[in-house]
Amino acid sequence: MAMDTRKCVGCSDCVVACQTENNVPLGYCRDWIVETVKGSYPETVKMHFASERCMQCDNTPCVRTCPTGASHVIEGGIVKVTHDECIGCGACIEACPYGARYVHPDGYIDKCTFCDHRLEQGMNPACVDVCPTSCLIFGDLDDPRSPVSKALQEKDWYVLAPEAGTNPQLYFLK
């Protein structure tokens, strides 16, 4: 997934769409908005928004530290948690540099799934479809002709905490 920080207006529609689509319990969330301001008055002040969620990392510390294998990577690179295998120890939460996981009130660990139940039906994740400025670009990064691959070829991008060595797969377009 790529996220165009130049287009995002910080409306939080993606957050609400996710909560509705995935029945996220009240008081929790799987994605959120970060507003960054660069510079200080009276010099040039620049502001941009970013919609953040699980980075579906290529090198997954959460899957590595999971003692039961409940955290796993499915085909296509999405990181998921099998509820019946999760003991709720919290190791994956400690392992995640992005704070993208949470303890579901039912006890298991929960996180963004890129709405894989929607992907199976050929749809986009709920956050992508609902975005009013189309700043979220979703697709197959292995396919050079997919919109997300093209966006990454055309624009400059950055990822969060590359020094954590997780090779995150959510790219932010500058």
Partner 1 sequence: MEEILNVSGRVIPHVYPHLEIWGSAIAIYLFIGGLAAGLLFFANFFYLSGKQNSMPMTIKVAPIITPIIISLGLILLVFDLHHKLYFWQLLLHIKMRSPMSWGAWTLSVIMIPAILWPLTYLEDTIDYLKKRNDKCKLIGLFTWANNLVNKIKPLVLLLNFFNKYKKLAAYLTIYLSIILGVYTGILLSAFNARPLWNTSILGPLFLTSGVSTAAALLMWLSNNPLERKLYSKIDLFLIAIELFFIIHMFMGMQAGGNAQVEAAQLFLGGPFTASFWVLVVGLGLVIPATLEILELSGFHVPIGIISFLILFGGLLFRFIMIYAGQASSFHVL
Residue 67's alpha-carbon distances to 9, 88, 113, 142, in angstroms, are 40, 10, 20, 30
Residue 114 φ/ψ region, left for φ over 0, alpha for ψ in the -120 to 50 degree band, beta for the rest = left
How far is Cα 107 from Cα 171, in angstroms, rounded to an integer? 31
Cβ distance to partner 1 smaller for residue 72 or 150: 72
Residues that bind partner 1 (CB under 8 A): 10, 12, 15-16, 27-29, 31-40, 52, 61, 64-70, 84-91, 93-99, 101-103, 106-109, 160-161, 163-165
Cβ distance to partner 1 smaller for residue 68 or 134: 68
The residues, ordered by sequence, that sit 6+ positions from 90 with a Cβ below 8 Å of its Cβ are 103, 109
Cβ distance to partner 1 smaller for residue 38 or 117: 38
Cβ distance to partner 1 smaller for residue 123 or 161: 161
